[in-house]
A and B are shown apart, each in its own frame.
Chain A
């Protein structure tokens, strides 16, 4: 017993001294963990993709030319990026993705805000349950939930059956394999990501602020625009990013619910990688997509930091 106690007491000492020998204080070590994680699982793969995007397609395994030839000379090419500029398929895919993502984000905001507001204003004992209900869909696989929408939206699906039985329509509505179905799928899938940050900010909102506004002569609707909305802006921004970013690169939803004419960059990427086996071009598509997303987000965050500081 005394030995186990002794080793138990010595254990942190051993770890600490090991870290010291590596030139790290325990404090730095703790802070380093997320950075190491990002380095290993984000930055390194990104570098590989970046390297790939300068290669050429080749019939080989893997199917591209190495960055350095046999004599160790750099043999990178900008051809892939050039092609992206020239072929308007890619530009149209990017623009169409951005458009679909923007509209889906706005729809999710329009639906998510009232939901989050109602949750934040619900009696305290209800809130945990409501929060659970928002998270509940995550317990089922994302893929299965998107598949389920096919059953709902198809011509002889649940929605059309319901509407026809109610006598609201004579002919089944053609929703599946249209852009509308893509919107439905994206908004449905990402709504919780909008609701949760909004709920977090709205729940913190001090109700006496609205009373103060009313007391100073501001009618309720105006108070919403002048007080509630500006104060919940951080939640709106966080929720919008959480919906917008995955929506831009979304592949599963447009592939399952969208039509052949639904152009999204995620799908284009997939086709390049797996149908055309053009890894270098696909990598270039991915790099541009990342640049398109990261640059405005970083700019935005800097503006925000400036405002708060």
Chain B
């Protein structure tokens, strides 16, 4: 057992104070006229990371990516790549390659020439170019299409060409701008795993911009959640989900139920809150909040237990309500439960055994309960 623990490899350079960041953003700010697109962002990204910039459209994530590619200059702040300042280096001299949202494949060149374009710029010998292009084409499984032009291919194939083109030079940074945005859902999920494989196989540092939280959760080592030009939280996917720093993050990543109220008691290992609709909630987590302060308890739908019978202890972490809607998704069922206050709470239930007869039906009065470890206390 102990041995297994030692051998378990954890890739978490950001926890190691001795680790040197590969890319370091220091107080980056970008202004277009009066509009502040990116506001005072500082961030360290480590070698071989698969880092996501996640946020709604207009949050500044694409602008940040374009600054990393050298297409935009920061209004203030510094970008250090392996310790050297990127300021003043034109994009064609940066060891950074970007995959564009539109793919930006050269329409007059076939797949081979598109992929070889970057290598040709570096004056690499012809045989070497041919070999590396072959490898890249094989990596994205496009061998049969090597002589096709972009307009003769499907969206998924074009996406692969764009990916091959931006990693074939083995850049120090691979930037991906919504790389899977144009694909349908099934293909997108499949490609997410391929993307991870390729990143791991090549050992490159990837930075991806996306508005799709599922995509970010799947592929990333760490995610930076952005809102209105700022980074709200940087954490691993699991941390973001289980310990969001704010209601914004909690609501952006997955589904969440939020109860508002005021702190009634807090200690070293617990926090208690009185809900606005008079109900006691308890979390076994210190919050640093004082009695009477405004707070929010966030609770993921799958952590709720839904039952028609009252639980043993109804005094804490327990709500009563009426079933409004039931969604049956096959693998799980979603319940929308209306509390007496009018708030609608979402609870999911995994359908472990085959569903023959539903024990809970519409209009039923049900009890929702959860363990004190399931809640997260938020102060904003």
Residue numbers of A with Cβ under 8 A of B are 206, 208-209, 211-220, 222, 226-227, 230-231, 233
Contact = CB atoms under 8 A, between A and B. Distances in A.
B98 A218 contact: no
A231 B91 contact: no
B69 interface: yes
Contact of A215 (B97, B102, B106, B107): B97
16 contacts: A206-B102, A206-B104, A208-B102, A209-B106, A211-B69, A211-B100, A213-B117, A214-B71, A214-B90, A216-B117, A217-B92, A217-B121, A219-B90, A227-B106, A231-B106, A231-B108
Contact of B91 (A211, A226, A233): A211
B93 interface: yes
Interface in B69-97: 69-71, 90-93, 96-97
B61 interface: no
Contacts of A212: 98, 100, 104-106
B124 to A, nearest CB: 11
Contacts of B169: 216-217
A220 B98 CA distance: 17
Contacts of A222: 121
A45 B106 CA distance: 46
A209 B104 contact: yes
Given A214-B92, A215-B97, A216-B118, 16 more contacts: A206-B104, A208-B100, A208-B102, A209-B107, A211-B69, A211-B104, A212-B105, A212-B106, A214-B91, A215-B69, A215-B91, A215-B96, A217-B93, A220-B92, A226-B117, A231-B106
A216 B69 CA distance: 10
A133 B165 CA distance: 42
Q: In terms of DSSP, what is the predominant structure of the interface of chain A?
A: helix
B92 A208 contact: no
A211 B98 CA distance: 9
A174 to B, nearest CB: 46
B122 interface: yes
Contacts of A211: 69, 71, 91, 98, 100, 104
B122 A217 contact: yes
Contacts of A218: 92, 117, 121
Interface in B56-72: 69-71
Contacts of B92: 213-220
A229 to B, nearest CB: 10
Contact of B98 (A206, A215, A226, A230): A215
Interface in B149-180: 165-166, 169
Interface of B: 69-71, 90-93, 96-98, 100, 102, 104-108, 117-118, 121-122, 165-166, 169
Given A208-B102, A211-B71, A211-B91, A217 B118 contact: yes
Contacts of B97: 215-216
Contacts of A227: 106
Nearest to A207: B104
Contacts of B93: 217
User: Which 7 pairs between the two chains have the least Cβ-Cβ distance?
Assistant: A216-B118, A217-B121, A212-B104, A208-B104, A214-B91, A214-B92, A230-B108
A121 to B, nearest CB: 16
A191 B70 CA distance: 38
B100 A216 contact: no
Which of B91, B105, B166, B169 is the most central at the interface, judged by chain A CB atoms within 10 Å of its CB? B91
B207 to A, nearest CB: 14
Nearest to B123: A217
A234 B93 CA distance: 31
A215 to B, nearest CB: 5
A209 B90 CA distance: 16
A92 B91 CA distance: 54
B105 to A, nearest CB: 8
Nearest to A218: B121
Which of B69, B98, B165, B169 is the most central at the interface, judged by chain A CB atoms within 10 Å of its CB? B98
Contacts of B69: 211, 215
B90 A216 contact: no
B91 to A, nearest CB: 5
A139 B100 CA distance: 44
Contact of A216 (B102, B107, B108, B165): B165
A219 B93 CA distance: 8
Nearest to A220: B92
B110 to A, nearest CB: 12
Contacts of A209: 104, 106-107
A208 B71 CA distance: 11
Contacts of B122: 217
A56 B303 CA distance: 103
B56 to A, nearest CB: 22
Contacts of B117: 213, 216, 218, 226
Contacts of A215: 69-71, 91-92, 96-98, 166
A216 B97 CA distance: 6
A227 B107 CA distance: 9
Nearest to B162: A212
A213 B118 CA distance: 8
B107 A231 contact: yes
A260 B93 CA distance: 58
A57 to B, nearest CB: 53
A197 B104 CA distance: 23
Nearest to A208: B104
